[in-house]
Amino acid sequence: MSNTNDYRDVWVFTEIKDHVEVHECALQILGKAREIADKLGQKLISVVLALDAEQYLPVIEEHGVDKIIYLSHQDLKHYHERIFTDLVYDLIEKYKPSIFLFPSTEAGNALAARLAYRCRTGLVSDVLDLELSDEFGNNLLIGDKPAYLGNIVAQIICPNTRPQMCTVTLGTFQKTKMRKENVEIIKVDYKFDKSKIKIKILEAPTRKDKPSSTLSDAKFVIGGGHGLVSKENFDKLFDLAKLTNGQVGGTRRPILNGWMPEHLQIGISGESIFSDLYLAFGISGAIQHLVGITASKTIIAINKDPNAGIFKVADYCVIGDANEILLGLLNYFRV
Amino acid sequence: MLKIFVLIKQVPSLHNLQIDKRTGTLIREGVENIINPDDLYGLELGLSLKEQYEGEITAITMGPPQAEFALRECLAMGVDKSLLITDEQFAYSDTLQTTLVLKETFDKIKDYDIIITGSQTSDSSTGQIPFQLSEALDIPLITDIFTMEIENNLFKCHRNFGHESQNISVDLPILIRVRRHFNEPRHISLSGIKKAFEKEIEFNDFNTFNCPEYLDGCNKSPTNVVRTEKIVLKRKNEIIEGNINEKVQKLLEIMQEHGIEKIWTGESF
């Protein structure tokens, strides 16, 4: 086993979203990673792989990095499992980061898992928080991971192998705008032997089925449950969403009742939301639903039953008929 | 003949979950153990490939001895063979450790064409195994498939990948990760149950693997859980009082504070 002391610095895989912009989640992770790097007295380093990567560097420089290591090439326009894994692994071998953080996205999760195997190290997925502690070893990173359906937090360390790797979901940390003096920028030449690619792509038209906005991106989510009683009432959620630029979601029951399609389910086996505001109409608050809403900044719950579980996780509790309140709000927005 | 392997896991059922009001933890007693729901789609894919292309299908799980029951269920669905990897030394394995044991297993099996996994398990939900096993065995992982065909040793399929809808071809062996609701997992028939108890389950333990160095001795998982804590959700729990109009008014104020404004849709409802 290699000596953990040989490894230093905090790396963030700074994903580029749809070859358009730096992923918001990556910027948020940079905020937390800056804190960690300061405590360690080490550098915060952003790793970027993209087509025309130079265009994204100014934004990244505004978010507290000491150094950017990047590769720029046509082949890096989109995440490719073989190319990205091999290239980033080479960087790890060369520079030996102590901590490496990734956004919890389709590409980030895949890349982190593959690299963790290559490095024979641990990967903590979807951490809720990160801190450094001397409790179990010198300046070890402790990652808080939800377990047993989010009711328990498991604190996980990776004591003997490096890098210490974690993925982080959108909305977990806050980005901070700050600019370090003399940000060091390293361009690594792109070199990849394409004969290593085993999958042959015959054709690849752009997908048209990708929703332009999804529950997990929505800033305002309006949720409904069994308490709305009828499809007619549930439909009013969609009216309210249209008038307020919100996004409708719900519990399992409305799907079983035929009130909404399956992909709008929030919770286990559905989506998690990261909204600024969540408005829950007639939702009792089963744990299966609650685990999907806890990342929402503010939660308002409306339910007839004062003992409904949802009130325990709500910032504002309205005890009353969800349908009446919904109608009242609609009347305001309709005028 | 196509050699198909489906990876499954036994997990606690998530239906009728009960929380211990005193400790705030999940009550595990009396909770039924089931096949991880996502894995059923993998089993169905494996069974339908076997029917279409002639092959042999084996279910593999790693877990405590009682996971044998989950394998019996697979056998009842129509799986030909099953393998339970179980040993106290493998308890509390993290994903890396699990991947290394699975790599040893497949290196020993040697002859495999398609390995199928679900998206993630309902208990630990890391979703890392398909990617890590793809690295470990150095075979491609194909995700989000919607149509497929196999010709000799060539696997052709349509799949969604990122922003693209790709038409790809790849030589076997491969790993397939099946998405949720990809198919309709079959029900177990009475004759299937009867057959399930006539079939044998193979057991592998620590000693089966010639004790490779990295599996030697006690558990070598790189990650350790050092503590578990109950999540305390810090929320205001402020009760909004008043008559219906007052409540609506207060909600509108909170919505405005969060930047939610009336937008003109040009439609009337």
What's residue B107's pLDDT? 94
Closest by CA to A115, choosing from A163, A158, A161, A157, is A163
Q: How does DSSP assign B26-50, residue by residue?
A: BP-TTPPEEE-HHHHHHHHHHHHHH
Total residues belonging to chain A? 335
Nearest-10 Cα torsion for B35, B39, B41, B43: -80
What's residue B218's pLDDT? 43
Residue B247 vs residue B265, higher pLDDT: B247
Query: Where are the alpha helices (H) located in chain A, listed in sequence order?
Result: 24-40, 57-61, 81-95, 106-119, 231-244, 252-256, 287-290, 322-334
Mark which residues 26-55 of B lie under 8 Å from A by CB.
26, 37
Q: Is residue B263 part of a domain?
A: no
CATH number at residue A64: 3.40.50.620
Q: Which residues of chain A have pLDDT under 50?
A: 1
A156 and A54, same structural domain? yes
Q: Is residue A210 part of a domain?
A: no
Q: Select the highest-mean-pLDDT range: A21-25, A143-147, B10-14, B263-267.
A: A21-25
Q: Is residue A220 part of a domain?
A: yes
Contacts of A253 in chain B (CB under 8 A): none
A226 and A189, same structural domain? no
Nearest to A300 among B160, B251, B259 (CB): B251
What's residue B180's pLDDT? 84
Helix (H, G, I), strand (E, B) or coil at B159: strand
A257 and A120, same structural domain? no
Contacts of A332 in chain B (CB under 8 A): 248, 252, 262
Query: At residue B35, does pLDDT exceed 90?
Result: yes
ipTM of the prediction: 0.87
What's residue B21's pLDDT? 63
User: CA B98, CA B79: separation in Å to the nearest integer?
Assistant: 23
What's residue A233's pLDDT? 96
What are the tens digits of pLDDT across the range A58-90? 999 999 999 999 999 999 998 999 999 999 999
Average pLDDT of B69-94?
93
Q: How would you class A115 by CB atoms within 10 Å of its CB: exposed for 0-12, middle for 13-18, buried for 19 or more?
A: buried
Q: How many CB pairs under 8 A join A and B?
A: 239
User: CA A311, CA B235: separation in Å to the nearest integer?
Assistant: 9
Residue whose pair of structure tokens reads 């849709």 in the numeric block: B265
CA distance A68 to chain B (A): 25
Percentage of chain B lying above the pLDDT 70 cut: 88
Chain A residue with the nearest C-alpha to that of B268: A334
> What is the separation of C-alpha A307 from the centre of its chain, rounded to a whole number of angstroms?
32
A236 and A191, same structural domain? no
What total number of domains does chain A contain?
A: 2
Q: Is residue B178 part of a domain?
A: yes
What are A275's two structure tokens? Answer: 């909204």
Contact A244 B262 (CB under 8 A): yes
Average pLDDT of B44-68?
95
What's residue B90's pLDDT? 85
Q: Which one of B160, B161, B236 would you mutate to disrupt binding with A, by most A Cβ within 10 Å of its Cβ?
A: B161
CATH number at residue B153: 3.40.50.620
A49: Cβ contacts below 8 Å, ≥ 6 apart: A16, A70, A71, A76, A84, A87, A88
Nearest to B131 among A114, A294, A318 (CB): A114
Chain A residue with the nearest C-alpha to that of B93: A122
Q: Is residue A303 part of a domain?
A: yes
Q: Is residue B43 part of a domain?
A: yes
Q: Is residue A205 part of a domain?
A: no
Contacts of B223 in chain A (CB under 8 A): 122-124, 156-158
What are the tens digits of pLDDT across the range B175-184? 999 988 889 9
Contacts of B154 in chain A (CB under 8 A): none
What total number of domains does chain B contain?
A: 1
Query: Of A148, A163, A196, which residue sits at a domain end?
Result: A196
- pLDDT tier for residue B210 given thresholds of 50, 70 and 90: low
- pLDDT tier for residue B247 given thresholds of 50, 70 and 90: very high
**Residue B130 belongs to domain spanning:** 2-215
Q: Is residue A208 part of a domain?
A: no
- pLDDT tier for residue B216 given thresholds of 50, 70 and 90: very low
A243 and A190, same structural domain? no
Contact A114 B134 (CB under 8 A): yes
Contact B235 A315 (CB under 8 A): yes
Query: Within an 8 Å CB–CB cutoff, is residue B140 touching chain A?
Result: yes
Name the packing angle between helices B129-137 and B95-109 (round to 10°).
40
Residue A148 vs residue B189, higher pLDDT: B189
The whole-chain average pLDDT of chain B stands at: 88
Residue whose pair of structure tokens reads 């040793």 in the numeric block: B153
Lowest mean pLDDT among A62-76, A170-184, B17-31, B36-50: B17-31
A256: Cβ contacts below 8 Å, ≥ 6 apart: none
Q: Is residue B260 part of a domain?
A: no
A187 and A53, same structural domain? yes
A139 and A259, same structural domain? no
A51 and A170, same structural domain? yes
A172 and A65, same structural domain? yes
User: CA A163, CA A165: separation in Å to the nearest integer?
Assistant: 6
Q: Is residue A250 part of a domain?
A: yes
Residue A242 vs residue B25, higher pLDDT: A242
Query: Within an 8 Å CB–CB cutoff, is residue B149 touching chain A?
Result: no
Query: At residue B127, does pLDDT exceed 80?
Result: yes
Residue B208 vs residue A122, higher pLDDT: A122
**Residue A45 belongs to domain spanning:** 4-196
A171 and A46, same structural domain? yes
Average pLDDT of B214-224?
65
Query: Of A167, A196, A225, which residue sits at a domain end?
Result: A196
Nearest to B260 among A157, A220, A316 (CB): A220
Q: Is residue B66 part of a domain?
A: yes
Contacts of A288 in chain B (CB under 8 A): 14, 17
User: CA B130, CA B102: separation in Å to the nearest integer?
Assistant: 11
What are A23's two structure tokens? Answer: 């992923």
Does B173 sit behind a cis peptide bond, omega within 30 degrees of 0 on the bond before it?
yes
What's residue A292's pLDDT? 87
Contacts of B142 in chain A (CB under 8 A): 199
Query: Within an 8 Å CB–CB cutoff, is residue B172 touching chain A?
Result: no
Contact A106 B134 (CB under 8 A): no
CATH number at residue A291: 3.40.50.1220
Q: Is residue A209 part of a domain?
A: no
Q: Is residue A202 part of a domain?
A: no
